[in-house]
Amino acid sequence: MESASQFALELKNITKSYPGVLALDNINLQVRRGSVHGFIGPNGAGKSTTMKIIAGLIPPNSGEVYINGVDALKRKSDAASSIGILPETPPLYTNMKVRDYLRFCQDINNQSMPAREEILDEKIERCGLTSVQNRLIGPLSKGFKQRVAIAQTLVYGAEIIVLDEPTVGLDPNAIAEMRDLILELKKDHTILLSTHQLYEVGRVCDEVTIINNGKILKTGNLTEVQSEFSAYKTFEALVPKVGEALKTNLLAKEYVQGCDISERAGEYLIKIRVSGGEDHRSQLTSLIVEHGNLFQFTERTMELEDIFKEVVR
Amino acid sequence: MSTFKGIWVLTKKELKDSFLSPLVYILSALFCFLMGWLFFNYLIASKEFTEQTLSQSVLLPIFGNMNFIFLFLAPLLTMRTFSEERKLKTIELLLTSRLSHFQIIMAKMISTFLMASFMISLTFIFPIILAMSGYEHWSIVASSYAGIFLSVLCYIAVGCFASSLTDNLVVSALLGFTILLGIMLFSLTGNATQNIILGQLFQYLAVPFHFDSFIKGGIRSYNILYMFSFIGFFSYLTHLSLESRKW
């Protein structure tokens, strides 16, 4: 049993409805202090609504939000100084210079912070903005703008950073830079990362929550979630031809949970989902060889993308 | 963060933004041209009305016209305040900060008021010119300026409310102008009605009715009470408009 102080961010029994739509249905979310928590779900799943509730932009119909142990719905101002929010559209004053903008963000959030200029210098350097700190935000590239938006969440000493789709619209290089920045921030921040990029979640997150139709479908440590799903194994067999008999015989085996066949450049790829911890490789290869040649037989580990598809199915 | 510090931080930023944009200079030039032209005409015409004082023949119409011109200029000055923030989504930065709605609204109103004050200050040359002709009723000048500042502040409160309703600058300006025109028309409605009480009520609800007391040098406590109630009412509506984002 973990104590509440281990969680930087906690949502308890949050329900939110819009006229005719139940956006969040009694969800519970816990983000462990010092972790990078991936928050994933298809469009309309309730991610943005959850983010807005955490940011204090909209109130829930019921439930509680705790930011660093502070009830964010009752003590909004106290909670605001320990959380930095990067919305999907970065809130940037494009007519301001980078440094002036970051100083302004410091001023409106925590004016009494000591050593403000030193902190500003440190965050500017950390986010790789030193070369552009005296330039206007407007003409900067999207990658730099996103960095400015992230720096905005750091300059007033927030411990928890909430990033809503930070890699949307970035080129592959900028995405890689953003990933490095998130990993760098992980050293002394708790990060809640909402994204569609499942590959990124797999690379930077320690914990993951999958949401769909306003309900949390799966939440926990990333490796635990992956191992939970590794109770199923997927094998891929590449064969020159395939008949209905092979598929029927495969599905007739009690340990085979599913079988999909697709054509690939004149050959056929059979995806076989197998349950249980036993090794069925020799039985499966023998069965396939009985029906013709077998070019390739591989075991696929369950990637986050597969888990996501499986969970939201 | 203290309330005033918070207001000042945002006011400073708003003022810097405004004075770096050409809008305030274009509007100031237009305002100067119109006021200068009107002042020149009233001054020339005052020679023919020898039985009237300079206050009656020049100051009274000049301040009346200035008030009318601000009916159009105030919505143009306020259109950016919230509409642009909504359009650029920067409103979320302010709403998720430690600033309260009160601080945000006050900062926006004060910065716009200072912009309008800059424009009004360009007319300080008029009393100086009148002084050269021997004019010395400075209390009328002072109360007229107090009236125009308060009246403009009322218009700014309406403009900020209109701006908080939409993310379109043009719609914001038009909406602000329409509300102000509607309030101004209360005077006409008051004149048209046969019912004395209703007529007086409509008169009382119109900003120009109270503004007239200032330029005629007969300020009553209810004039000041009305102006501040008006500003408070529309500031509250702006607060409700910001709050409605949560509904």
Domain boundaries, chain B: 3-246
Residue pair A108/B9 in contact (Cβ under 8 Å)? The answer is yes
Cβ–Cβ below 8 Å for A77 and B96: no
Name which of B9, B21, B90 is nearest A91 (Cβ-Cβ): B90
In this prediction, residues A225-240 reach a mean pLDDT of 77
- Number of Cα atoms under 13 Å in the Cβ half of residue B217: 10
- ipTM of this predicted structure: 0.87
Q: Please name the residue of chain B whose CA is at the shortest distance from the CA of residue A59.
A: B246
Which has more pLDDT, B164 or A115? B164
The answer, for B30 touching chain A at a CB cutoff of 8 Å, is no
pLDDT at A14 over 80: yes
CA distance B61 to B83: 34
Residue B120: what pLDDT? 96
Give whole-number Cα distances, A156 to A102, A130, A181, A184, A256, in Å.
9, 18, 18, 18, 55
Residue A276: pLDDT band by 50, 70, 90 thresholds?
A: low
- 3-class state of residue A198 by DSSP: helix
Residue pair B119/B20 in contact (Cβ under 8 Å)? The answer is no
Residue A246: what pLDDT? 85
> CA-based diameter of chain B, in Å?
62
CA distance B232 to B58: 32
- Tell me which chain B residues have a C-beta less than 8 angstroms from the C-beta of A80: 96-98
* Residue-wise pLDDT tens digits, A161-175: 999 888 888 888 888
Which has more pLDDT, A79 or B16? B16
Indicate the residue type of B187. S
pLDDT at A89 over 90: no
* Residue-wise pLDDT tens digits, B55-94: 888 889 999 999 999 999 999 999 999 999 999 989 989 9
Q: Which of residues 201-240 of B touch A (CB under 8 A)?
A: none
Residue B155: what pLDDT? 96
Cβ-Cβ pairs closer than 8 A, A with B, add up to 64
- Transcribe chain B into DSSP letters: --HHHHHHHHHHHHHHHHHHSHHHHHHHHHHHHHHHHHHHHHHHHHTT-TTS-HIIIIIHHHHHHHHHHHHHHHHHHHHHHHHHHHHHTTHHHHHTSS--HHHHHHHHHHHHHHHHHHHHHGGGHHHHHHHHTT---HHHHHHHHHHHHHHHHHHHHHHHHHHHH-S-HHHHHHHHHHHHHHHHTHHHHHHH-S-HHHHHHHHHHSHHHHHHHHHTT---HHHHHHHHHHHHHHHHHHHHHHHGGG-
Indicate the residue type of A129. L
CA distance B71 to B239: 22
Helical packing angle, A142-154 and A172-185, nearest 10°: 10
The answer, for B136 touching chain A at a CB cutoff of 8 Å, is no
The mean pLDDT value of chain A amounts to 85
Residue B26: what pLDDT? 95
| Alpha-carbon distance B90 to nearest alpha carbon in chain A (angstroms) | 4
CA distance A98 to A107: 14
Residue B56: what pLDDT? 82
Q: CA Rg, chain B, in Å?
A: 19
Residue A302: what pLDDT? 62
Query: CA-based angle A40:A41:A47, to the nearest 5?
Result: 80
Cβ–Cβ below 8 Å for B9 and A108: yes
Residue A81: pLDDT band by 50, 70, 90 thresholds?
A: confident
Residue A145: pLDDT band by 50, 70, 90 thresholds?
A: very high
Q: Please name the residue of chain A whose CA is at the shortest distance from the CA of residue B95.
A: A57
Residue with tokens 């007391």: B213
Tell me, yes or no, if the pTM score tops 0.90. Answer: no
Phi-psi domain of A63 (left: phi exceeds 0; alpha: psi -120 through 50; beta: other): left
In this prediction, residues A65-89 reach a mean pLDDT of 84
**Token couple for B71:** 């009916």
Residue pair B215/B64 in contact (Cβ under 8 Å)? The answer is yes
* Residue-wise pLDDT tens digits, B155-191: 999 999 999 999 999 999 999 999 999 998 888 888 8
CA distance A177 to A84: 20
Q: Which of residues 152-171 of B touch A (CB under 8 A)?
A: none
The answer, for B196 touching chain A at a CB cutoff of 8 Å, is no
CA distance A242 to A294: 10
The mean pLDDT value of chain B amounts to 91
CA distance B193 to A264: 85
Residue A2: pLDDT band by 50, 70, 90 thresholds?
A: very low
pLDDT at B51 over 80: no
CA distance A26 to B138: 68
Q: Which of A82, A107, A109, A88 is nearest to A96 (CA)?
A: A107
Residue pair A224/A254 in contact (Cβ under 8 Å)? The answer is no
pLDDT at B35 over 90: yes
- Tell me which chain A residues have a C-beta less than 8 angstroms from the C-beta of B94: 108
CA distance A105 to A150: 11
Residue A1: what pLDDT? 41
Residue pair A56/A82 in contact (Cβ under 8 Å)? The answer is no
* Residue-wise pLDDT tens digits, B203-242: 888 888 899 899 888 888 999 999 999 999 999 999 999 9
Express as a percent the part of chain A with pLDDT over 90: 23
Residue A272: what pLDDT? 86
pLDDT at A228 over 80: no
Cβ–Cβ below 8 Å for A91 and B1: no
Most A CBs within 10 Å: which of B95, B98, B100, as the mutation test of the A interface?
B98
Q: Which of A222, A215, A274 is nearest to A47 (CA)?
A: A215
Residue A56: how many other CB atoms lie within 10 Å = 20
| Alpha-carbon distance A157 to nearest alpha carbon in chain B (angstroms) | 13
Structural domains of chain A, with CATH: 4-227 (3.40.50.300), 230-312 (3.30.70.260)
In this prediction, residues A206-225 reach a mean pLDDT of 86
pLDDT at A5 over 70: no
Residues B222, B227, B229, B231: what is their CA dihedral angle, to the nearest 10 degrees?
180
CA distance B174 to B71: 11
| Alpha-carbon distance A105 to nearest alpha carbon in chain B (angstroms) | 8
Phi-psi domain of A293 (left: phi exceeds 0; alpha: psi -120 through 50; beta: other): beta
Residue B147: what pLDDT? 94
Residue A42: what pLDDT? 82
Residue pair A206/A37 in contact (Cβ under 8 Å)? The answer is yes
pLDDT at A156 over 80: yes
Pick from A13-17, A109-113, B196-200: least confident: A109-113
Residue A151: pLDDT band by 50, 70, 90 thresholds?
A: very high
pLDDT at A250 over 70: yes
Which has more pLDDT, A262 or B66? B66
**Token couple for A79:** 């909670």
Q: Please name the residue of chain B whose CA is at the shortest distance from the CA of residue A72.
A: B96
Q: Kindly tell me the burial class for residue A97, based on how many C-beta atoms sit within 10 Å of its own C-beta (0-12, 13-18, 19 or more).
A: middle
* Residue-wise pLDDT tens digits, A191-215: 999 887 777 788 888 898 988 888 9
Q: Which of A252, A296, A259 is nearest to A274 (CA)?
A: A259
pLDDT at B129 over 70: yes
The answer, for B92 touching chain A at a CB cutoff of 8 Å, is yes
pLDDT at A279 over 90: no
